[in-house]
Amino acid sequence: MQRTTHRPHFLARSVAVALATAVALTATACAKSEDDASDKKQSASSAAGAEQKAVTPKPGSKTCTIDAYGAKKLDLKGATVGFSQSEKEANPFRIAETQSLKDEAQKRGVKLLTANAQSQFSKQITDVQDLLAKGADLLVVAPLNSDGWDPVLQAAAAKKVPIVTIDRKINAEACKDYVSFIASDFVEQGRRAADQMIEATGGKGEVAILLGAAGNNVTTERTKGFKERVAEKAPGLKVVAEQTGDFAREKGQQVTEQLIQSNPGIKGVYAENDEMGLGAVAALKGAGKKAGDIKIVTVDGTRNAVQGIVDGWISGVVESNPRFGPLAFETLDTFTRGEPVAQDIIIEDGTYNADNAKQDIGKAF
């Protein structure tokens, strides 16, 4: 894409941008937040022992080789990798994910090009096409949606660029349209959250679920796994409410306030992400409950939530590891050397509970 002519309003726009930047700069110049005195938080992705590990694939599961895919062998060192992130890095998960890829690229001496779609799917399609045009030899994509990838896949296939998708799957043929898919098993996360809840409540009583955003596969799968496991292992545990907290802290707080009000018998709250869980903690504090009165189990493994376990407000956190860097680059390395890689690579997620929260908090993101 080339733009040689400047539109008439170009000047006006640059003045506006300059003004906005000036406001932002003056605002931050004399800012003083509460944390300024304390040292900066530990780099999210460098925590020792926190990198993802893949679950050993079952024998007979499908693999993919470079010959079957139809690409050329190359040395990952010195290659250019394009990474397309789906959402802006405003939540801990996305921050840790992008940082982990950047760190790993630096470690391996790979040139990494990054783009962020800011939650707009059309932008992500252009982003990936731009990355291809800029000369990416390999692609790592964190898809915003599962569908609608045909134009990108065709462009990549024409250039024989291997694609690895992380975090969400795209609806296409593995080893033909893309190489591998690396992610957590969200249903399994739901099941393990149920295990934590059963342990914390003794398997009896009423629990409420704070659902994630509606129409999101993470929400459906984390709900499915939780309910499955509860029905199978602890029929005495009754889900009395399922209300959405939109993955946001404030919404989690408001919904929890309503629920504990009308169902005073609730013994546990399962929050499908840490933020809503922390909102639930705020609601319980506001209602004058004590730590541990109502058991809270969440999914993600952010530092704040693990700190919540240490403080006694949260009973358990099922990890959803965002540090895709090492595993993604290892997969690309193996693949480009001509060895087979698994088509579906499932990450082994950890768990935080009262026993390990204190010593493992460094691993949280």
Partner 1 sequence: MAEAALRTAPPDRARLLQWLQTYGVYAGVALLLVVNTVITPHFLSAENFRTQAVQVAPVVIVALGMALVIGTEGVDLSVGAVMALAASVTALYLGYGLLPALLAVALFAAGVGFANGALVAFVGVQPIVATLALMVGGRGLALVLLPQLEDLRNPQLASLGSGDVLGVPYLILIAAVLALLVAFVVRRTTFGRQLLAIGDSRPAAELAGLPVRRVLIVVYVVCALLAAVAGVLATARLQASDPTSLGNLMELSAITAVVVGGTPLTGGRVNIAGTVAGAVLIQLLTATLIKHDLPPSWTQIAQAVVIVCAVYAARGRGKR
Which stretches of the chain bind partner 1, using CB under 8 A? Answer: 20, 23-24, 27-28, 31-36, 88-92, 95, 214, 240-244, 246, 248-251, 253-255, 257-259, 261-264, 275, 278-279, 282, 285-287, 304
Our CB check for partner 1 shows the closer of 5 and 33 to be 33
The radius of gyration of the chain from alpha carbons, rounded to an integer in Å, stands at 23
- Minimum CB–partner distance for residue 90 and partner 1 (Å): 5
> Smallest gap, in angstroms, from Cβ of residue 250 to partner 1?
5
Q: How far apart are the C-alpha atoms of 31 and 340, rounded to whole Å? A: 53
Write down the least CB distance from residue 37 to partner 1, Å. Answer: 8
Which CB atom, from 16 or from 133, has the smaller least distance to partner 1? 16
Q: Which is nearer to partner 1, 199 or 242 (CB)?
A: 242
Say how far apart CA 125 and CA 62 lie, in whole Å. 28
Cβ–Cβ under 8 Å, residues 127 and 84: yes
Nearer to partner 1, 20 or 68 (CB): 20
Q: How far is the CB of 262 from partner 1 (least distance, A)?
A: 4
The Cα–Cα gap between 86 and 123 comes to 9
SS3 content of the chain, % helix, strand, coil (to 5): 40, 20, 40
For the chain, strand residue ranges (E) read 53-54, 63-64, 80-85, 111-116, 138-141, 163-166, 180-183, 205-211, 237-244, 266-271, 295-300, 316-319, 341-342, 344-348, 351-353
Q: Which is nearer to partner 1, 263 or 343 (CB)?
A: 263
Q: What is the DSSP letter of 294?
A: S
Min dist CB 249 to partner 1, Å, is 6
User: Least distance (Å) from partner 1 to the CB of residue 27?
Assistant: 6
Q: How far, in Å, CA of 349 to CA of 93, rounded?
A: 14
Q: Is 181 helix (H, G, I), strand (E, B) or coil?
A: strand
Q: End-to-end CA distance of the chain: give it in Å, rounded.
A: 38
Which candidate, 320, 326, 318, places its Cα nearest to that of 351?
A: 318
Helices and strands in the chain: count of H runs, count of E runs: 12, 15
**C-alpha angle with apex 102: 98 to 105, nearest 5 degrees?**
140
CB of 246 to partner 1, least distance (A): 7
Q: How far is the CB of 32 from partner 1 (least distance, A)?
A: 3
Q: Which residue lies nearer to partner 1 by CB, 45 or 253?
A: 253
CB closer to partner 1 out of 12 and 23: 23
Nearer to partner 1, 1 or 37 (CB): 37
